[in-house]
Structure 1
Amino acid sequence: MITSQFRVLAVVVASFATFTPAYAALGGAPTYPVTAASTSAGAASQGTAVARFAASANAASANYTVSQTTLPSGTVVSEYIGAGNTVFALSWEGPTMPPLKTLLATYFPTYVQALTDAHTAQGGGYGSAVVRQSALVVETGGHMGAFVGRAYLPQALPQGVSADDIK
């Protein structure tokens, strides 16, 4: 029987397994400049598409940019970039998990600790890996060949943007 510590270790190892460059670090600037025609330097198989969105809450309007990058594995990573060129949220979908250590950056240790604590409290089990804290939310799920997830900083969501906007 697989222990909960083994499952947590498997998630952490999967996060390290992909050594491809990522495009965002949660809470920081995008790794590469975001332009309408930007592509990854030195990685012709990776592409970036940029879309601009406006979200509104009552009379207030919040602008943010969503930059999508397809990793060589086929996984699509979307970075949500707000004021000050800061990534406030990420989402991913694809056949492999993205490199969470890179994507979560300084929040990765918090994620791993919260995940370990949650699995210990639950006594193990299978299912999605979810961390919901006041400063960090990470939701991952899926199965081999079809992974999805998102991560965001609740306090950094621009005015008029809700967690439901992060897809």
Structure 2
Amino acid sequence: MIMSQFRMLAIAAASFAIAIPAHAGLGGAPTYPVTASSTSAGAASQNSAAVARFAASAGAASTNYTVSQTTLPSGTVVSEYIGAGNTVFALSWQGPTMPPLKTLLANYFPSYVQALTDAHATQGGGYGPAVVHQSGLVVETGGHMGAFVGRAYLPQALPQGVSADDIK
């Protein structure tokens, strides 16, 4: 009896996993739907505050990328910086909880975890911001309970005219 219930539960879980839509992330397609309030270089938007924030961060550089902001149910705001080929080259977040980094970092998540593990081993542990600076991946996250901030980007994928300082 217990074995058949276990099998039914396993089958249900497997079918649920198959039904979950695939998400991309850093280095792939946007994780969240790009909405009408997303902002593009030189494009008008329905969300004037986001446009003003984008224009200030983009400066005078003529770039071709979009910033799509999504507010998660927790209240955390995730910004995905989307470049050519509908590819996310950077992320930033701010809010009361950490966003799902495993989902957002996608294929780069194992590198991030390994870098943190290596740093933890060489530095003898500790608390504070989690920072990974590699040639192909930068992740900076910090804050405190109820107020987390961070960003992640692929240095080699930054569009021409965009610097790390533009990822906010």
What's the TM-score, normalizing by structure 2? 0.73
Residues 33-89 of structure 1 show CA distances to partners (whole Å, capped at 9, x for unaligned) of: 4231xxxxxxxxxxxx311236478xx732110000000000000000001100000
**Alignment match, 2:146:** 145
Identify the residue that residue 25 of structure 2 maps to in structure 1: 25
**Partner Cα distance (2:76, 2:136) in 1:** 26
| Structure with the higher helix share, 1 or 2 | 2
Matched letter for residue 63 of structure 1: N
Contact kept? 1:64, 1:81, Cα under 8 Å? yes
2:66 and 2:124 map into 1 onto residues whose CA distance is 40
Q: Structure 1 stretch 88-97 or stretch 23-32: which is displaced more?
A: 23-32
Distance in 2 (CA, whole Å) between partners of 1:32 and 1:166 is 18
Identity of aligned residues (%): 86
Distance 2:24 2:68 in 1: 9
Find the residue that maps to 1:141 and give its secondary structure: strand
Taking a change above 3 Å as real, the CA distance of residues 33 and 73 of structure 1, as seen in their structure-2 partners, is: closer
Q: What letter corresponds to residue 53 of structure 1 in structure 2?
A: A
| Cα displacement string for residues 99-130 of structure 1 (whole angstroms, at most 9, x for unaligned residues) | 00000000000000000001111111111000
- Tell me: higher relative CO, structure 1 or 2? Use CA pairs within 8 A at least 6 residues apart: 1
1:32, CA displacement in angstroms?
A: 4.4
Determine helix, strand or coil for the equivalent of 2:38.
Answer: strand
Structure 2 unaligned blocks of 5 or more: 1-20, 43-57
Structure with the largest fraction of strand: 1
Read off the aligned partner of 1:28 and give its amino acid letter: G
Q: Which residue of 1 aligns with 2:127?
A: 126
